[in-house]
Amino acid sequence: MSSLLVLNGPNLNLLGTRQPDIYGRVTLDDIEKMCRSYAKQKGVGLEFAQSNHEGALVDHLHAAKGTHDAVIFNAGAYTHTSVALMDAVSSVGLPVIELHLSNVHAREAFRHKSFLAPVALGIISGFGARGYTLAIDAALSHLGAEP
């Protein structure tokens, strides 16, 4: 059975109340429940984690090596600032899908640059919470685990 890590970065714990005009009213708990249900339907194991701390996200990525087959990573604002996360993604040797709830290219110019994009398998952006299930499908397809 394949195993995925769904990793979420800073401020995503505030989903549902944080800028709902941009991020919607779905909470991170709602997204986790949706992902767990979807993963169960697909027969895939899933770990779900969130941290507001860059180093903790690096630790989660390091721990994924040898434990998970792929990572779905919504790094939040760290996408646009963190060389440390870029290095961690490139160091663990796992396929990583960069994920964003909003369409970052339709927003402020600083959000158009991603440090993760050059080392990610691909990017899903702008589909709200549905992006998580799209990312699960993309990861499974890449792994050859899609039934």
Q: Name the residues annotated as catalytic.
A: 23, 100
Q: Is the dihedral of CA 3, 67, 6, 90 positive or negative?
A: negative
Query: Which strand (E) or helix (H) includes residue 94?
Result: none
Distance CA 134, CA 131 (A): 5
Nearest to 93 by CA among 61, 117, 124: 61
CA distance to 25, 36, 81, per residue, from 133 (Å):
17, 10, 26
Q: What are the strands of the beta sheet with 70-74, ordered from one edge?
A: 45-50, 3-8, 70-74, 96-100, 122-125
Strand ranges inside the chain, DSSP E:
3-8, 45-50, 70-74, 96-100, 122-125
